Amino acid sequence: MKTKVYSKQGKVTKEITLNDEVFDSKVRQGTIYEAIKNELANSRVGTACSKGRGEITASTQKPWRQKGTGRARSGDRKSPLWVGGGVAFGPKPRDFSYRIPKKMKRLAFKSILSLKTKEERLKVVEDFSVDSGKTKDLLKILKNLIPSERAVIILSDDDRMIKRAGANIPWLKLLAYNRLRAHDLFYSKTILVLEKAAVGLNDFYGEKKNG
């Protein structure tokens, strides 16, 4: 399939051929869901921790004698029934991360890219850089291409100056074409793909990579 290529000024300059397998494939909602769920699970810290009654520092003496007081019997103040006592079945540090098949993850990325292309929310832009590394200079470029809403720029390489300029823009994510994130792509309103990154996506997720 062919699509338009925009300049930094927001004008159409030429066309580029995109791999149908990557940008015009069948959208599989199930794989998208699994990829996003996997990323969210892997990002969980899992450090919540509570003390059980065996970990509480308190006296082991009975609060009152077993019989004759008219009150319910009680063993010690470390019981979960007491304020300051242990927690029954409380959380402990754990690892929530897990792995999904690489083929499923690749299929999810292709589904998201195809979905955004069909919704006309994906634009290919001529390669550019922000030599100054300043946020205001990057915003001037983005103003001609997209509204100020949740967006992703897919880079062809690790351009430190663009990443530096975009670090202070809360609604913008910067991703390399070979290190995508399903959550950021799926929930973005617009995806900007640099021209070299589009070529990289064609090869990285195309038939050559699978073969």
pLDDT digits (tens, 9 = 90+) for 36-68: 999 999 999 999 999 999 999 998 899 999 999
Distance separating alpha carbons of residues 19 and 4, to the nearest angstrom: 14
C-alpha span between 114 and 175 (Å, rounded): 17
Where residue 208 falls among pLDDT bands split at 50, 70, 90?
Answer: low
**Percent residues over pLDDT 70 in the chain:** 98
Average pLDDT (177-200) is 95
Residue 198: pLDDT band (50, 70, 90) is very high
pLDDT of residue 158: 79
Q: How confident is the model at residue 148 (pLDDT cuts 50, 70, 90)?
A: confident
Q: What percent of the chain has pLDDT over 90?
A: 89
Contact (Cβ atoms closer than 8 angstroms) between residue 28 and residue 17: no
Domains in the chain, start-ordered, CATH in brackets? 2-44+101-210 (3.40.1370.10), 46-95 (no CATH)
Q: Is the pLDDT of residue 209 over 80?
A: no
pTM (two decimals): 0.83
CA distances from 88 to 57, 84, 92, 108 (A): 16, 12, 11, 40
Contact between 104 and 35 under an 8 Å Cβ cutoff? The reply is yes
95-128 pLDDT per residue, tens = 999 999 999 999 999 999 999 999 999 999 999 9
Count of other CB atoms within 10 angstroms of residue 49: 12
